[in-house]
Amino acid sequence: MRLASLLGLPSFAAALVGAASFKDCQHKVKESIHDPPRGWYKHAPAPKHHVLELKIALPQPKFPELEQHLWEVSDPNHTRYGAHLSKEEADALMAPHPETLDIVSQWLASYGLAEEDLIRPSANDWVTIHVPVSLAEEMLNTTYHVYKNFKTGESIVRTTSYSLPEILHEHVDLIQPTTMFARFKAFKTTLHWANQAQALVSNSSGGMITGPAGNQVDASCNKTVTISCLRQLYNAVDYNTSATNCNRLAVTGYLGQIANDMDLQQFYQLQNPLAYGSNYTFVAIHGGANNQSYEAAGLEANLDTQVAFGLSWPTPGTFYSTGGEPPFIPDTPGSDNTNEPYTNWLHHVLSQDTLPQSISTSYGDDEQTVPYTYATRVCAGMATLGARGVSVVFSSGDGGVGDGDSNPATQQCFSNDGRNVTKFMPTFPASCPYVTAVGGTANVPETAVNFSGGGFSDYFHRPAYQDAAVSKYLAKLAPGTYEGLFNPMGRAYPDVAAQARNFATVYRGSTVSTAGTSCAAPTFIAFISMLNDARITAGKSPLGFLNPFLYSRGYAGLNDITKGQNPGCGTDGFNATVGWDPITGHGTPNFEKLKHLVLTMP
């Protein structure tokens, strides 16, 4: 799949215009949406003095070349497998044409913005500016409003359409925040929230269950999932990682989610005593906070760090805290907007010379709330990470085939294109073909958990690496099944799965039970980090983008999940079955089998 239609070379027939003449140029609509997504309503005009952080994406004419590198270095059957790009090589392939840089700078200068007012990442493919609403409205020939969410009460400043001088259209891919209403919430369900402070005093029920690898798993793992349970279930009890081979693992945090260090140490005492006293590297991005009071602790951040770092210790861990905390309160001076979190994070990490080899994110939203232009650009950034040798995983969501609401009775499954037709709701960024999406399972023996997000993208075509597996699944569906509710030619997800219910997590000094594909993503990435550890120790490259391996060879090292459904939108959803399915993908990890597979590859 290529994004060339969005990222192609501009034609430079038109001469650059003088700075003063931009305001006299005829504006043409660059992007618009029919209405705000269901659940949002126009509340009031945006305060003219409110400062917007506008991000301007410039075309990447060499992206098709970067994408070709990605396919080659990620395909275990290709001679270039593992020959990942350096930061400098990736930057060169992400860079806009010099004439694009010139004309966009002239346009900004015509509104009084000097070069020192512009923030650019190392590849120069984005420009960030801070301007009041009044100036943004003039530049974009639009009117901003405060929109409120019926369900959450959140407020954001957005518009439903914006325009640019015609000469700029081929030099600008998108500008946000404008038409984007995604909330990018953490993927966790509260269905199983309960105080289980005594659950970890003794985690032995005296009984054992046979796990998918044929090994014995403590029967208590059917009630409470711990680090020990996951290592037993996924066949990695005896594997010890290194702290000195340059392998690193990272998890991300957004929207004010803070990982509490005291909670982490308590978790280590209970579940991995050898790790007690160790810590991770904290990286603040765009004002990411690190308030270590119990009151500031975030359940999502605690879950991600405890599971990922608890499983992979002593591999060095990194927690990225990216700023931007909702809700926006329009009447409070200095309050911020809920801006798009992934661009700030991507700009930071792609500007680094070295990166963690494995990164997990447990956030997302309905694909249709994300403008297509924005989704493709963020997805291109994920492709760049893969080309640089990073394995990137995302939770698949917690709404089954629905809109992210874990309660099927309250889901709103309608298109926001003005037609208001009933349809399944794919999740982004899980639907990006350059990331590995992780669905959820429960119990031993494992079955698909009913809230596991899965389905087919409306934005991205099915990539070649999954053609065979997905076609086999679709062929099993009865003719006409859910016809019109999903796009059978879209990128299908999830790719894999892991446990997603009854996780014992330490939160503000107590042990609570959490659930959601937020549990599954850090679990899966920890086992990928162990595989990277094994390859690096053996003198091999890290795995990088996982999907070409998973669909060509890696599925042989996964436990196929064949039972369960993911209901939503008034339907029973899809069913788990033999082979790939849109609930659990190819299944859950069998570490020893996967280790054998990755060590026999170049």
Q: Which domains does the chain have, with CATH numbers?
A: 4-61+96-181 (no CATH), 186-599 (3.40.50.200)
Q: Which helix (H) or strand (E) holds 307?
A: helix 299-312
Q: 91: annotated binding-site residue?
A: no
pLDDT tens digits along 352-397? 999 999 999 999 999 998 999 999 999 999 999 999 999 999 999 9
Non-local CB neighbours of 103 within 8 Å, separated by 6+ positions: 16, 17, 167, 168, 171
Q: Is the dihedral of CA 508, 512, 516, 519 positive or negative?
A: positive
Non-local CB neighbours of 412 within 8 Å, separated by 6+ positions: 38, 39, 403, 405
**Nearest CA-CA partner of 493 in 445, 516, 460:** 460
Q: How many C-beta neighbours within 10 Å does residue 239 have?
A: 15
- If you search the block for the tokens 């593992």, which residue do you land on? 82
- If you search the block for the tokens 């950034």, which residue do you land on? 381
**Nearest CA-CA partner of 96 in 57, 59, 145:** 59
pLDDT of the residue at 98: 96
Check: CB of residue 95 under 8 Å from CB of residue 124: yes
Q: Which helix (H) or strand (E) holds 310?
A: helix 299-312
Low pLDDT (below 50) residues in the chain: 1-16, 19-20, 190-205, 326-327, 332-336
H and E: helices and strands count for the chain: 14, 28
pLDDT of the residue at 255: 83
E strands within 16-154?
Answer: 27-32, 40-45, 51-57, 126-132, 145-149
Write out the DSSP string of 452-494: ---EEEEEEEPPGGGHHHHHHHHHHSPTTTTTTTS-TTEEEE-
Whether pTM > 0.85 for this model: the answer is: yes
What does the block give as tokens for 308?
A: 């990922």
Write out the DSSP string of 384-413: HHHHTT-EEEEE--SSTTSSS-S-GGG---
pLDDT of the residue at 5: 36
Q: 175: annotated binding-site residue?
A: no
- If you search the block for the tokens 């690193």, which residue do you land on? 248
Question: d(Cα 520, Cα 190) in Å, to the nearest integer?
Answer: 15
pLDDT of the residue at 364: 92
In terms of DSSP bridges, do strands 281-285 and 317-322 run parallel, antiparallel, or are they unpaired? Answer: parallel
Question: d(Cα 2, Cα 62) in Å, to the nearest integer?
Answer: 11
Burial tier of 191 (Cβ tally within 10 Å: 0-12, 13-18, 19+) = middle
Q: How many CA atoms lie within 13 A of 141 on its CB side?
A: 16
Q: Which residues are catalytic?
A: 300, 304, 518
Check: CB of residue 346 under 8 Å from CB of residue 276: no
Q: 579: annotated binding-site residue?
A: yes
E strands within 184-336?
Answer: 185-186, 189-195, 208-210, 216-218, 249-253, 281-285, 317-322
Q: What is the DSSP letter of 599?
A: H
Q: 495: annotated binding-site residue?
A: no
- If you search the block for the tokens 């500031």, which residue do you land on? 296
Residue 439 Rama label (left phi>0; alpha psi -120 to 50; beta): beta
According to DSSP, the residues that pair with 456 across neighbouring strands are 492
